Structure formats: C-alpha cells, structure tokens
Amino acid sequence: MTQIGGLINSVLIFFLVAVFIRSILTWFPISRNNPLQIVVIQATEPILGPLRRYLPKFGAMDLSPMVAIILIIWVIQPIVAAIFQ
C-alpha cells in the first residue's frame, strides 16, 4: 500500500505544483505559444476545466486554481498520514 500511496501522493504533488505554476504564469505577459505554458495548461485543464463550470463567476477573477489547490491538499493529507503510520 505504501508504494501505491506514494505514487498517488507524487501525482497529486505534481498537480499541486502545476496548478500553482499556472496561476503564477497568469501574472506575466507570456505568449500562449510558449512551450512551458502549453505543457502547464494541458496538465492542469482536466482539473480546472470542470471546476470552472461549477464555480460562480467573479468578473475577471478565476477562483478555480485556488479551489483546486485546496482540494488537492485535502486529498493529500489522509494519503500522507496513511503512508507514515
């Protein structure tokens, strides 16, 4: 179980970092054709896309990265606790 839990933990940490990087990249005027931006968008859109459909609109503010980070941390905590027990 610890190897599977470790793998799931690693995947969730990857998504956590990718969502964080995507939210930081929105602060800079980077072209949509930038390879880093393309990879980050492709990796995070399966998580953020469905969240955007259910979250209310707040003008130009996108709250889906914040909600995704909270949900990922909420999922990671029991997995990490199970691994280290």
DSSP 8-class letter at 55: S
pLDDT band at 1 (very low <50, low <70, confident <90, very high): low
Are 22 and 65 within 8 A, CB to CB? yes
Residue 23: domain span: 2-83
> Residue 45: its pLDDT value, please?
93
The answer to pTM > 0.75 is yes
- Domains contained in the chain, number: 1
> Residue 40: its pLDDT value, please?
92
- 29-73: pLDDT as tens digits: 888 888 989 999 999 999 999 999 988 888 888 889 999 999 999
- 65-81: pLDDT as tens digits: 999 999 999 988 887 77
Which residues, listed in sequence order, are joined to residue 58 by a DSSP beta bridge?
Answer: 61
Whole-angstrom CA distances from 1 to 8, 44, 66, 83 are 11, 27, 30, 8
